[in-house]
Structure 1
Amino acid sequence: MSRARHSDRPDRQRSVRSFLDDTDEALRLGARPGATVWPTGFDLLDTTFTGGLRSGELVLVAGTEGAGKTTFAMQMMRNAVVTGRHAVVFSFELTAASLIQRLLGLEAAAAADLVDDPIFPPADVRAFRAVLEAEDPDRRGLGSAMRGLSFGQEALMAVERWSDRLHIVEGNRMTTIAQIAATVAAVADETGEPPLVLVDYLQKIPVDGIEGTADETTRVTFVVETLKEIAMELECPVVAITAADREGLGAGHRMRTRDLRGSSALAYEADIVLILQTKENIVAREHLTYDLGAIKTYRRWVVISVEKNRFGGGQIELEVEKDFEHGRYRPQVRVVGERLIEERVFTS
């Protein structure tokens, strides 16, 4: 089955001279001649990527169960729209309502961060869920309901400021790779700029014509190659959450790109591969031997391993602190100071 083009932009044969002329003209007009950059909002991660994610890039986010892959990716989407950009989320795992509850919790915590010693802690995701799922016999509306939550009004106002720029699609068996491409193109046409795209998650995208007739490797290869085409043709970054092979993740094993489930094309096609793992599971034993209390501390942190970065440095280990009660990671990122476990190869 051949892949169709997903935009009206034709293939273009260009000389280097025409490219230089176009670049010169763009600079003289004050325009950006190179790739467009979407900051992730995580400071050291953006430094690693020399500014953020770029148009045309395919970014894979993988990780062990419970590491917060969706939380991390959604926070990047939120950070993009806060700066005035547009984003589209294709969620095959969570409903739009669930994602919005997380975003409200995130914004409540962000508002509280700006206050010195707040009297009450910000409402968490469970509190927002309870309000949004409760009946309102007095029919007071959303704004009134939020006033009963600590930093609830601030959270709602923050979400309302960028709500027109974030689009959420609840994925199902009709949300094929072709439909994803069409939706991204429609948002780009409507807004006048390509959006940042999130797919959660890659292995769940149905494929017309080969679904049920091919193994997972064939289907994943088709999907990942087409997502890369979408990124290049529509000039946007595509972030895709991807599953790991459970059989390759035994005790004491540190997840690597080779553990991604379904196809070697994942490693070849991706421009960036990020792997998230809870720190307690991958810190070297020497850091735990004499301080058993360290386990509790490490449990709060997730290590982000930059396994691949096609246009920059790879094999970088960063860490962020969990705040899953508020649907986020704390925005400060730091370099991992401890030694992490590594697989050892023994030869006879």
Structure 2
Amino acid sequence: MGAAPRSVAALLEHTDMLLRRGEQAGATVWSTGFPLLDEALGGGLRSGELALLGGPQGNGKTMIGLQLVRNVVCSGRTGIVFSYEHQANTLMERLISLEAAECDSGTAASVLEVRQALEAGSAGRSLEEVLGAMRGGAAAYAQLQSYGDRLHIHESSGSSTTLTELRAVVADVQDRTGQVPFVLVDYLQKVPVESSTEDARITGAVEGIKDLALDLGVPIVAVSAADKSSLGAGRRMRTHDLRGGSALAFEADVVMILSDKIDVVSRDHLVYDLANIQRFREWTVLTLEKNRHGRGDVELEFAKDFEHGRFITEGREVRERLIDERIIVS
């Protein structure tokens, strides 16, 4: 049986009691670590909210999702990554390179260099010694040690990591750390739900994840795959292009779509200034298509640093005209 309704008078009394105790009466807000995104979101992502993160393949969805969690734990909070796509060591390699670049972006070891060093064997050297031999590696190791006990990576399975398992892991981390964790699910369509059709399965997954966010008071960012049939040449991806579109749009509190800038700027920016082509390739546009607690239809852009597994957090609002569908001219 569900909880009994509360009168507005009771809610007012409870809120007054919390304020008199010096406690927080509203939702808890988690900064994303991207200042312009926080501003557009009204401070950041909130407890009990589900944020969807979509975009075409290869646009950095996992990367920015991991970076959001990393930013949260760097602030002293706790985070969980449910990774249906990557092994934990792969994410660790990205974090090492990211931290190295944060300390010394000009010469830091790339993700590829970190991976090659760890795969080559160490001749008996410790991890600290291996990383210490890389550019920025010593500082990266120290930074990872500083927040390592607050960042949890769950190697998830599309056959066994169900909604029940997600809920149990989140509750366990919350009990053990005494903190409400920030949660990344990568990716939503991999969460196993028994159903006769794919649309019904995805609907069940997104509804279950939203219920989890509400019940446990956690913010959840879920990476969402696109419907391949909607991603033809010249198309700009939108919320309705996510697999399970209508249910996802209804349940989500925030929808963010990543696009390569070169793919979504108006054609005249490319025709009349060819130098723009290379410049635009270096930026990703984050479109805030839905936002229940702030501005919607916001277009922000962030410089790519895929070599080090990150975006540059100091972004800017898009100045150029963007398109919904580019007309392809032969």
Q: Same fold (TM over 0.5)?
A: yes
Structure 2 gaps, min length 5? none
Cα separation, 2, equivalents of 1:289 and 1:140: 54
- Secondary structure, in 3 states, of the residue corresponding to 1:276? strand
Alignment of 1:273-288 (within 5 A): 273-288=255-270
Name the residue aligned to 1:143. Answer: 128
Cα separation, 2, equivalents of 1:157 and 1:183: 27
CA contact (8 A) 1:218 1:263 kept: no
- Secondary structure, in 3 states, of the residue corresponding to 1:123? coil
Q: Counterpart of 1:88 in structure 2: which amino acid?
A: I
Aligned residues: CA RMSD = 1.4
Cα separation, 1, equivalents of 2:39 and 2:122: 46
Alignment of 1:245-284 (within 5 A): 245-284=227-266
Structure 1 gaps, min length 5? none
State the shift of 1:262 in Å: 2.3
User: Please, which of 283, 288, 291 is the counterpart of residue 301 of structure 1?
Assistant: 283
- Secondary structure, in 3 states, of the residue corresponding to 2:104? helix
Scaled by the length of structure 1, the TM-score of the pair is: 0.91
Cα separation, 1, equivalents of 2:168 and 2:323: 43
User: Please, which of 9, 16, 38 is the counterpart of residue 17 of structure 1?
Assistant: 9
Q: Deviations over 1:41-61 (max 9, x none)?
A: 001000011110000100000
Cα separation, 2, equivalents of 1:249 and 1:142: 42
Q: Counterpart of 1:289 in structure 2: which amino acid?
A: V
Q: Which moved more, 1:255-264 or 1:152-161?
A: 255-264
CA contact (8 A) 1:91 1:199 kept: yes
CA contact (8 A) 2:31 2:45 kept: yes
CA contact (8 A) 1:220 1:263 kept: no
Do residues 165 (structure 1) and 146 (structure 2) align?
no
Name the residue aligned to 2:322. Answer: 340
- Secondary structure, in 3 states, of the residue corresponding to 1:186? helix
Q: Deviations over 1:204-246 (max 9, x none)?
A: 1112xx2xx5111000000000111000000011110001111
Q: Counterpart of 1:181 in structure 2: which amino acid?
A: R
Name the residue aligned to 1:51. Answer: 43
Q: Deviations over 1:152-195 (max 9, x none)?
A: 00001001100001110111121111100111111111111211
Name the residue aligned to 2:214. Answer: 232
- Secondary structure, in 3 states, of the residue corresponding to 1:264? helix
Identity of aligned residues (%): 49
Q: Deviations over 1:102-144 (max 9, x none)?
A: 011110011115xxxx6xx01111121122222222x221111
Q: Counterpart of 1:123 in structure 2: which amino acid?
A: A
Name the residue aligned to 1:127. Answer: 113
